[in-house]
């Protein structure tokens, strides 16, 4: 089974979101295609999940925007989360019938993917009862959120690599108030972004029993454009 993959590099959240929407639609129209894996790094942005609450922002929304943060309403589950420089964001867009048509399995598998990746760089991490995401002790190192339509997925994970953790102080991350956040940098793991992504790719292939095949950003944009135009 072949999954197309590309690192978008730095890209605005809205542009990446719109690409995801079109690729998700493309997958719904082409059930024979297993899917795509995109890596990306966003400028500072807070994204609002379907379950967010007003009190998840600790400061007035306009004050947050005036500090240079984007705020974007997303179609994923969950509450409010932060994306920004130094964070490795992965979007896994697949047709689930090529894996397993089981939402709980899909989320668990993504968590396991992160746990095994972190284990490869010497970080002992795991799940926390009642809360999604991956934790190092009582600090969250990776957030997860997905949206699924007709068994085609979008969104994924946000792993704190060299992230400015002070930005999380503007919100209750994922609606959680009693625990903190951490990053690979904070716990002393000095890996380059490209090194982490390579490890993630190897772990993905082993865990999902899939082969990653490179695709260019231009090819992804072409698929998205044709899908939007109703040509794909």
Q: Which pTM does this prediction carry? A: 0.89
Which CATH number characterizes residue 204's domain?
3.30.930.10
3-class SS string, 43-85: CCEEEECCCCCHHHECCCHHHHHHCCCEEEECCCCCCEEEECC
Q: Is 190 exposed, middle or buried (0-12, 13-18, 19+ CB in 10 A)?
A: exposed
Quote the number of domains for the chain.
Answer: 1
* DSSP string of 128-159, one letter each residue: ETTEEEEEETTEEEEEEEEEEETTEEEEEEEE
CB atoms within 10 A of CB 108: 12
Q: Which residue numbers are catalytic?
A: 174
pLDDT in tens, 102-157: 999 999 999 999 999 999 999 999 998 888 899 999 999 999 989 999 999 999 99
For the chain, 232 residues long, give each residue's pLDDT as a single digit of tens: 999 999 999 999 999 999 999 999 999 999 999 999 999 999 998 887 655 555 666 666 676 677 777 777 766 655 677 899 999 999 999 999 999 999 999 999 999 999 999 999 999 999 988 888 999 999 999 999 899 999 999 999 999 999 988 888 776 654 455 678 999 999 999 999 999 999 999 999 999 999 999 999 999 999 999 998 876 4
Which structural domain, as residue segments, surrounds residue 189? 2-228
- What's the CA gap between 216 and 196, in Å, rounded? 20
Q: Which two tokens stand for residue 168?
A: 């999380």
CB 26 within 8 A of CB 87: no
């Amino acid at each position: 089974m072949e999954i197309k993959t590309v690192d978008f590099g730095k890209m605005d959240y809205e542009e990446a979101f719109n690409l995801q929407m079109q690729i998700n639609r493309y997958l719904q129209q082409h059930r024979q295609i297993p899917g795509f894996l995109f890596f990306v790094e966003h400028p500072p942005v807070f994204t609002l999940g379907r379950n967010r609450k007003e009190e998840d922002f600790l400061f007035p929304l306009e004050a947050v925007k005036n500090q240079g943060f984007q705020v974007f309403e997303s179609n994923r589950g969950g509450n409010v989360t932060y994306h920004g420089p130094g964070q490795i964001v992965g979007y896994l867009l697949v047709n689930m019938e090529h894996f397993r048509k089981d939402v709980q399995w899909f989320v668990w598998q993504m968590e396991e993917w992160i746990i095994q990746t972190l284990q490869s760089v010497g970080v002992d991490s795991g799940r926390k009862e009642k809360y999604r995401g991956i934790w190092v002790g009582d600090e969250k190192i990776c957030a997860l959120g997905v949206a699924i339509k007709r068994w085609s997925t979008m969104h994924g994970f946000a792993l704190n690599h060299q992230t400015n953790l002070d930005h999380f102080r503007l919100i209750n991350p994922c609606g959680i108030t009693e625990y903190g956040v951490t990053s690979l940098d904070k716990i002393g793991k000095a890996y380059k972004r490209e090194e982490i992504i390579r490890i993630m790719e190897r772990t993905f292939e082993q865990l999902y029993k899939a082969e990653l095949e490179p695709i260019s950003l231009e090819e992804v944009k072409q698929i998205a454009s044709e899908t939007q135009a109703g040509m794909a």
